[in-house]
Amino acid sequence: MMSLCIENIHLPNISKAKVRFFMVRADLIHPLASGNKFYKLKPAIEQAKHHKINTLLSFGGAYSNHIHALALSAKAQGMASIGIIRGEASYAKNPTLTDAREAGMQLQFVDRLTYKRRTDTPYLKQLQQRYPAALIIPEGGSNQNAVKGCMKLMAEVNELVDANIVTVAAGTGATAAGLACGTTKNQSVIAYAVLKDETLNKRIKKFIDIENKSVKVNVEPADFGGYAKLDEQVLSFILEWLDKTGILLDPIYTGKMCMRLMQQIDAGMFKQGTTIAMLHSGGLQGWRGMQQRVIRLAGPKSWNTIQSYLCRDIA
């Protein structure tokens, strides 16, 4: 596992705006289960070990970065894992869940109605009774443990770069809250919402309030058609970014955030002299479920370009 590192990105539009732009390469800390997931899961694993719990249980979709990271993290710690997966058992053959199974994860497939109960107390009690030896972790790993883990992530970022603004793609909001709770004076966090969720602001605020911090996260829309929707515009931006920087963004989180962020830089929304650090939170394994979509939108050559990067850094 590699240490966190940063990369200074030099592009004409960034120079024209007279800002400094760094990418925090959390995508490089592990060849498969990379990014913020390790930081979010580490406190939960420490909690489980402290209480002599040897099984981790959580929830996710068929291509969930969280499920993937949880399975690999549990295996690395000599622990068992259980995944409650939304969808059909046939999904077990996809690359994400194949990795999870090979890491020892027990997969339990549920229908959408059952999956919607994943935060309901009665359902969680039933699961706990069925798996009494398991620590149940929310979908995405997003709880107060995850916030504390991402506070440590922010501390590592600040050791690498003196940024005025740190940006992160937001789904559940725990990473954004943790980064905000770890900010220094005159430093701010912008969360780019990759799904249309009116509760995101409240959820982030609740995470922050529990840590008793007087900080705020600015939330910007960056869903571009909806969660996990990859259209021609976003794909074109990701491929162009890869060509210009040599860095592959993921299609669900960082690709959309970076596209929106570049639009804002082009529009002069950041004060000259501002130093921006964008968190590349990993999730590249998610590309493996996008092959047919990429080929349909941009042709087989584009997929080969993405696959070549994945084979180099993931396989």
Say what the pLDDT of residue 315 is: 43
CATH class held by domain 36-141: alpha beta
What residues of the chain score a pLDDT lower than 50?
315
Pick the CATH number of 6-29+144-313 from 3.40.50.720, 3.30.300.30, 3.40.50.1100, 3.40.50.10320: 3.40.50.1100
Q: Helix, strand, or coil here: 45?
A: helix
- The two domains 6-29+144-313 and 36-141 share their CATH topology (first three levels equal): yes
Cα gap 64→250, rounded to integer Å:
13
**Residue listed under structure tokens 């990701």:** 238
Say what the pLDDT of residue 31 is: 61
Cα gap 206→144, rounded to integer Å:
10
Say what the pLDDT of residue 33 is: 63
Q: Mind giving me the DSSP string for 189-210?
A: EEEEESS--TTHHHHHHHHHHH
Cα gap 266→14, rounded to integer Å:
8
- Among 209, 208, 205, 158, CA closest to 186: 158
Name every residue whose Cβ is closer than 8 Å to that of residue 153 and which is 6 or more positions away in sequence. 4, 26, 36, 39, 175, 178, 179, 182
- Which 8-state DSSP code applies to residue 314? T
Structural domain boundaries in the chain: 6-29+144-313, 36-141
For residue range 71-118, what is the model confidence (pLDDT) as tens digits?
999 999 999 999 999 999 999 999 999 999 999 999 999 999 999 999
